[in-house]
Amino acid sequence: MKLYYIDTEKTLFGENEVHEEGCHRLPKKEKLEYLGTFASCHTAVKMARGQFEDVTGCYLCSCHCS
C-alpha cells in the first residue's frame, strides 16, 4: 500500500496529476491534496476522478495509470 496525492494545480493540458508518496515530481505541499492509501495508482486515479474532471497519473511515478 502506498500513499497517493493529487496536484491541485492543473497541467498545461488541463489535467490534475496523481502522485505516489516520494515522487521526485511531487509539487509543493500547498498544491497537494491527500487522496488516501491505495494498493495501486489505478484505484487512486479512480478516486480522484470523483473530485476532479480530468485526472492522469504522473509520468514518473504512475505512468501506467494515466
Binding site for Zn ion (CB under 5 A): 19, 23, 25, 58, 60-61
Q: Which residues have C-beta within 8 Å of that of residue 5, sequence separation ≥ 6?
A: 18, 19, 20, 21, 26, 32, 33, 34, 35
Neighbours of 41 (CB within 10 A): 23
For residue 53, the minimal CB distance to Zn ion (Å) is: 20
Question: Which one, 58 or 65, has the nearer CB to Zn ion?
Answer: 58
Smallest distance from Zn ion to CB 50, Å: 20
Strand 16-20 to strand 32-38: parallel, antiparallel, or no bridges (unpaired)?
unpaired
Work out how close the CB of 35 gets to Zn ion at its nearest, in angstroms, rounded to a whole number. Answer: 12
Q: Which is nearer to Zn ion, 24 or 53 (CB)?
A: 24
